[in-house]
Amino acid sequence: MCLDNDLKAVCSVTELTKKLGLSRARFYQLQKMGVFPMPLYCTRTKRPFYPLELQQKCIDIRKTGIGLNGQAIIFYASRKNISQKSSGHSEHQYGELADLLSQMGLNVTCNKVRKAVKALYPAGSAQCSDEGMVIRDLFRYFKQWL
């Protein structure tokens, strides 16, 4: 979600939904329910837009969880915030990899696995989409040092 000082004088529906962290489809659904205000329309182009006041109103609705119609609404975290595939492995995943490798007969810690992943995949382990390949590479990496 955006900070209040990121607001422009007017913005499109697409820009507003990005600021709110919602999809356009979900935004329109909530708008139809009366949670978010309707946009203003340009008389020349007939395109919808949100002036500064309506943008601020939408942001306040998102922050408080109380819609324009007074209805309470629950907003879930956007998928971008909860997905960790793009940033590589989380601490939990390093622990799982260490457990898997210990079941394969290697005595490794979570910290050793993290360092090995960084050594094997400098650009991040997301470059290797196959989890089995990552485990194989880690097993070979540790096997050569034992």
Query: Are residues 120 and 65 part of one domain?
Result: no
Residue 75 is predicted with a pLDDT of 83
Contact between 86 and 126 under an 8 Å Cβ cutoff? The reply is yes
Q: What distance in Å separates the CA atoms of residue 79 and residue 18, rounded to the nearest whole number?
A: 12
Q: What distance in Å separates the CA atoms of residue 130 and residue 125, rounded to the nearest whole number?
A: 10
> Tell me, what CATH number does 52's domain have?
1.10.1660
Domain end residue (candidates: 57, 80, 103): 80
Domain end residue (candidates: 23, 47, 80): 80
Residue 55 is predicted with a pLDDT of 95
Query: Are residues 61 and 10 part of one domain?
Result: yes
Neighbours of 97 (CB within 10 A): 22
**Domain region containing 31:** 4-80
Sequence-ordered list of residues with C-beta below 8 angstroms from that of 96, at least 6 positions apart, any chain: none
Q: What distance in Å separates the CA atoms of residue 134 and residue 68, rounded to the nearest whole number?
A: 49
Query: Are residues 56 and 14 part of one domain?
Result: yes
Residue 41 is predicted with a pLDDT of 95
**Per-block mean pLDDT, blocks of 10 residues, the chain (146 long):** 70 93 92 95 94 95 93 74 47 82 87 88 68 85 80
Would residue 85 count as lying in a domain?
no
Q: What is the reported pTM?
A: 0.52
Domain end residue (candidates: 80, 102, 132): 80
Query: Are residues 106 and 76 part of one domain?
Result: no
Would residue 86 count as lying in a domain?
no
